[in-house]
Amino acid sequence: MATLFDSLWFQNLIAGLGFGGVLFFVRMGLRSERWSRAWARLRRDRMGMAAGAVILCYLILGGLEMVQWRSADGVRTTLLAAFLSGVPKEKSFSAPMAARALSTAQPAPLRGRHLLGTDALGNDTLVQAMRACRTALVIGGLTSVIYLPLGTFLGILAGYYRRWVDDLITYIYSTLASIPEILLLVSILMVLGKGLGTMAVALGVTGWVGICRLIRGETLRQAERPYVAAARAMGLSHWRIINRHILPNVLHLVLINFVLGFSGLVLAEAVLSYLGVGSPVGTPSWGTMIDGARGELSRDPVVWWNLAAATGALFGLVLSLNIFGDALRRAFDPKHG
């Protein structure tokens, strides 16, 4: 199972399905008047639209890195790597825009100028930071496929049926929430092994609690609305009431949680990779870059650009996601803006 989760085609497929599912639900939601009004408000939010444009750039970079194939000699190549094939590889460290390698004894001339320098293996730092976008998207897409349906389904069940169903689900997520998340994540990864797929499973198993609580509270409120009482009086089944009345009125919360939760997943991947239990060796990751940059800070001269590139890329994505998520929240509920 771990081999299947960590295969590149499976990760790309599930991540693509995850984002495709989000776009499908957005398209369904836009048919309602509430979503149309929210979209009109969002378009007038310049900060939110600017953050959305930045997120789109990350999505494009990650998407280009997801398109992979093997050349005639068996070497795996990505579309992004093909576009950046003209960037030369050096023998060792080089400072940003330097003409020679970073060495105290007879520094060798470089093959080219690198905007953010190179790492210990001579790879362009900016290229590595761009390639790491795929890891962030795979983690976000795979984990969302697990925790969003699970948390939404259990939250609706708890809020709609109440009584012993609510008590059981509340007991389960209260128990899970009482365990320190980082310890639970590390424990699951130690059992399943390192890999992007297993990391997504661990984050999905531990990450559904928040959205379950949110959807449960909203379902409790929606279940008391007159249209639900009218549907029950008409003899509609519980499934039809949930599918036609409850679910459409909580989908906007799922979308907002997806955007805001994505930033938490990216940070969690970086922390786990920094601790050495996240992305496997050889996988471009901001957490791995930050982990590798620790020893470089003790060099003389200090090699700071690898740390700056990884933290800058991570900061840009997380900040944009938070701004865009807040803009979505204001668009759907302007009185809380």
Counted domains in the chain: 1
pLDDT at residue 1 in the model: 46
pLDDT at residue 279 in the model: 73
Per-residue pLDDT of the chain (337 residues; tens, 9 = 90+): 445 555 666 666 666 666 676 676 666 666 667 777 888 888 888 998 999 899 989 988 888 887 777 766 666 777 887 888 778 887 878 778 887 777 656 667 777 788 888 887 888 888 889 988 888 888 887 888 888 888 988 998 888 888 888 889 889 888 888 888 778 888 888 887 777 778 888 888 888 888 888 898 888 888 888 887 887 888 777 788 887 778 878 888 888 888 888 888 888 888 887 777 777 767 788 888 888 887 777 777 778 888 889 899 999 999 999 999 888 888 887 655 4
Report yes or no on 94 lying in a domain. no
Report yes or no on 91 lying in a domain. no
How many whole angstroms separate alpha carbon 168 and alpha carbon 2?
A: 30
Angle at 61 between CA 55 and CA 66, to 5 degrees: 120
Report yes or no on 57 lying in a domain. yes
Report yes or no on 327 lying in a domain. yes
How many whole angstroms separate alpha carbon 229 and alpha carbon 226?
A: 5
The string of DSSP codes covering 77-104 is EEHHHHHTTTSPP-SS-B-TT-SB-S-S
pTM: 0.83
pLDDT at residue 9 in the model: 64
Collapse the DSSP code of 229 into the 3-class scheme (helix H, G, I; strand E, B; otherwise coil) and give the result.
Answer: helix
pLDDT at residue 47 in the model: 92
- For residue 301, is the peptide bond before it cis, meaning its omega torsion is within 30 degrees of 0? yes
| Packed helices 251-274 and 33-43: angle between N→C axes, nearest 10 degrees | 50
Report yes or no on 107 lying in a domain. no
Q: Which residue has the tokens 């836009």?
A: 30
pLDDT at residue 104 in the model: 57
Q: Range of 162's domain? A: 29-65+125-336
Report yes or no on 279 lying in a domain. yes
How many whole angstroms separate alpha carbon 91 and alpha carbon 106?
A: 13
Question: Which CATH number fits the domain that encloses residue 273?
Answer: 1.10.3720.10
- Beta carbons within 8 Å of 189's beta carbon, 6+ residues apart: 198, 199, 202, 272, 277, 278
Report yes or no on 221 lying in a domain. yes
How many whole angstroms separate alpha carbon 68 and alpha carbon 80?
A: 9
Helix H or strand E encompassing 68: strand 68-70
Report yes or no on 14 lying in a domain. no
- Taking CA atoms, 8 is separated from 55, 135, 184, 274, in Å, by 23, 11, 26, 22
pLDDT at residue 54 in the model: 92
Class of residue 248 by CB neighbours under 10 A (exposed 0-12, middle 13-18, buried 19+) = middle
